Chain A
Amino acid sequence: EVNLVESGGGLVQPGGSLRVSCVGSGFIFSDYEMNWVRQAPGKGLEWVSYISSSGNIKYYADSVKGRFTFSRDNTRNSLFLQMDSLRVEDTGVYFCARSDKSGWHYFDSWGQGTLVTVSS
């Protein structure tokens, strides 16, 4: 069974930094492209970032480009999202999500999310 578990969320002041993580199990982690998707309180889903299976290729939403850095460690089945220069509007639940292997770029498995709150 595919399992994704996020951690590292918390309260941080505007302008601060935070790193959230995701550990995957139940599948060959290094074979899959991965993503972060976030959801502000009471709002819809917003794709944040993508990383290739090897970690060499990354894409970011315009809203986080230059502030967030997505990385992975396939030896530890882990993903990391380093979030710098945080803003109040970055508040939300951050989900890690696995990309399908069919090439259509949908998200076939999700974690339960970790809450990031940016507030003074």
Chain B
Amino acid sequence: SFVLTQPPSVSVAPGQTARMTCGGNDIGRTGVHWYQQKPGQAPVVVVYDDSHRPSGIPERFTGSKSANTATLTISRVEVEDEADYYCQVWDIFTDQRVFGGGTKLTVL
């Protein structure tokens, strides 16, 4: 089954670019989705199917994927972007949904 690996933490200064990765074998055969979760709140999808942005999500949020690694990039980081970010996939062989362990983004 899928195992998705995310770095526990990423730190960036306001105005800079944050990059968060999500690695896993066979990640290339399924879409990768990204969620933002702020303390005490439910998660919100910020990128779906590798690189698509839902309506209402700023263009600063972009997703990409290459080989066994997906990346969420936040350009011109703002203080309000500080949150936990999770990647997620659908395992087409088991029909299970799988989350990565999450990355805590700290805006210094």
Contact = CB atoms under 8 A, between A and B. Distances in A.
A104 B101 CA distance: 20
B35 A50 contact: no
Contact of B86 (A35, A45, A95): A45
Contacts of A47: 88, 96-99
Interface of B: 31, 33, 35, 37, 41-45, 48-49, 54, 84, 86, 88, 90, 95-102
A108 B47 CA distance: 10
B49 A102 contact: yes
Nearest to B91: A105
B77 to A, nearest CB: 22
Contacts of B45: 106-108
- B-side interface mostly: strand
Interface in A29-44: 35, 37, 44
A73 interface: no
| Closest CB pairs A-B (n = 6) | A105-B90, A106-B33, A110-B42, A47-B97, A44-B102, A45-B99
Given A44-B86, A107-B45, A50 B97 contact: yes
B69 to A, nearest CB: 19
B90 A104 contact: yes
Given A50-B97, A104-B90, A112-B42, 11 more contacts: A44-B99, A44-B102, A45-B99, A46-B99, A105-B31, A105-B97, A106-B90, A107-B43, A108-B45, A110-B44, A113-B42
Contacts of B43: 45, 95, 107, 110
B27 to A, nearest CB: 14
